[in-house]
Amino acid sequence: MSVAVKKKQGKFTYKDYLSWPDDERWELIDGIAYNMTPAPSRIHQKILGELYRQIANYLTDKQCEVYFAPFDVRLPSGKEKNDDEITTVVQPDITVVCDISKLDEKGCKGSPDWVIEILSPATAKKDLKEKYFLYEKFAVKEYWIVYPDYKVVSVYVLNENKSYNIPVVYGEEDEIKVGIFEDLTIDLKTVFA
């Protein structure tokens, strides 16, 4: 089933984004505003919760931190004079940040180390296309796309040329060795249970 993504007309900045109603969720990609409604499905939330649990348990007593949506990730182009002028603000389902200097009260400013997006009918095209190129451009080291309906995860890893390799695809019986950590493995049996 295809779902039309709602967009605001025009080009927007983080300053505009902050002025929108709190009960609405939006993302900005190069100034284009994407509505994040409807709310994620129960299965989406269950997968999100289990991924977060496994990652958070691993990160206990470690420097890196994990956050789940809604959590603002501001990706400045470098041309902005201040935060208000940033034109890209996304809310990945899961964000892992190891450079704590990127964290502030508003969220994360700069590239996270690892991002996970769980596909839903309303966000699939954006996650597979716009966000793929966005995360590659901003050098997110690892990008996972979760397909709840198929119980599959595609893992993209940034190579030395600052582009993503062909994804490795994992199914519900697999365990995924996380590339940015030496000893973290995600058990997909429990993620998709």
Summarised one tens digit per residue, pLDDT across range 86-133 is 999 999 999 999 999 999 999 999 999 999 999 988 888 888 999 999
Summarised one tens digit per residue, pLDDT across range 52-62 is 999 999 999 99
Q: Is residue 191 classed as helix, strand or coil in its secondary structure?
A: helix
pTM score of the predicted model: 0.93
Contact indicator for 87, 28 with CB cutoff of 8 Å: yes
Measured CA to CA, the distance from residue 25 to residue 17 in angstroms comes to: 10
> Which domains can be identified in the chain, with CATH numbers?
7-191 (3.90.1570.10)
